Structure 1
Amino acid sequence: MSRQRQYENLAAGRQGRLWQADRGLAELPPNPFACECGSPGCACTWPGTPDEYDVRRGEGWLTTHPAC
């Protein structure tokens, strides 16, 4: 499940960057990235830009709640 959520988050970031380039936006608004903890039923999200997500992802799986 963690890998699937990461795949979805990467796709969301890619789509955001394409939208940014198409619209000529200087920066993107926050996007709700899914928690990558892998727990079934986890619906936690983390708001951030694709660049912020890349930084968080560089630290490992994106987790958004204390139980992770």
Structure 2
Amino acid sequence: MNPAKPAERLPAKPGRRRYISATTERLLADCFPGLVPATVIEDALRQKAIREGRLAAPRRRGGKP
């Protein structure tokens, strides 16, 4: 029998966000501390889609602009 490899005895590492780069991690930590990354990403994607004309801007309700 072969002895177990050292990595096999270690507990699993906590999951790392695969969809966020190291630069994005730093931006989130510096500019949006304490906010949920999914919320920040959703807001950024929504703004980008509106700028590119892929999504209509939300309508304002009532009142003067």
TM-score scaled by structure 2?
0.30
**Greater gyration radius:** 2
State the TM-score, normalizing by the size of structure 1.
0.29
Q: Comparing both structures, which one devotes a greater share of its residues to strand? A: 1
